[in-house]
Amino acid sequence: MNNTNDKSDTVLNHTDCRPIGIFDSGVGGLSIVKCIAKQLPNEHLIYLADHLHAPYGDKSTAFITDRVNIIAKILIQRQIKALVIACNTATVNAIDQLRKRITIPIIGVEPAIKPAAIYSKIKRVGILVTQATATNGRFLALVKKHSIDVEVIIQPCPGLVELIEQGDINSYQCGSLLHNYLSPLLAKKVDTIVLGCTHYPFLLSKIQNIIGHNMKIMDTAAPVTKELHRQLQKNQLCQADQNQGKLELYSSNPSTLIEKTCSDLIGHPITLKYF
């Protein structure tokens, strides 16, 4: 497929039953899906996981941008009314160029650095990110913007996304990696940790077991859902039907293992289709 140059011909309605498109490189975006489904239960959701090319964290900007454009085109062909890029790496690498070409609302995922900086009492914040995000110019500019009077310690976490994708979050290897990545933040005595990847909320309990329950942990599911709702209201795209919304899940490389992992993470059995 070629990159999309499509422009949406969206007609704004007072009630709109078209689905919301959501995508990630893999299962991480399900943390966003769960929040949207809970807060906006009447909305229909289509989730695409690009498992064939996961994870995005070790890919080039050009490759990530190409995949984002291909997936956006697929979802637009499904007549979506809004698009959520439920992937920090894809957001920092490709959202700006996509917004220039797509006219439906596009909501990205950015690490909660600003609220963390405001919350931190000792003005020392740690952020867990993928390798691609850690070196991305857009992300580094965001860190610089909110670190005028706050020290932000960036901690790349290679390997975590792969373990979550494989359903190995309870493995010794996962625990060992978490200890390795959290130790520098604890040594710096941060009081707030930002989860800079949508996969990482699935490790929340394990992170808390290492750092304790007194330290503040921030992710982006709630802010993303809030912004999505605001955009739907602003553009008169809300679903007025009071029936429960439907959830469709697709993967570019579905398998029994991936389907089980998705079911475990989302909390109920699902059927994963090919796109």
* Residues labelled catalytic: 87, 197
Judge contact between 85 and 68, C-beta under 8 A. yes
Query: Which amino acid, residue 271?
Result: T
Cα-to-chain-centroid distance, residue 173: 23
Report the SS3 class of residue 216.
strand
For residue 193, give the H/E element and its range: strand 192-195
Residue 251 φ then ψ, to 5°: -140, 150
Specify the amino acid at residue 60.
S
d(Cα 6, Cα 11) in Å, to the nearest integer? 15
State which H helix or E strand residue 273 sits in: strand 272-274
Q: In a 3-state reduction of DSSP, which class is residue 128?
A: strand
Of the candidates 128, 138, 259, 107, the residue with the CA atom closest to the CA atom of residue 201: 128
Q: How many CA atoms lie within 13 A of 142 on its CB side?
A: 22
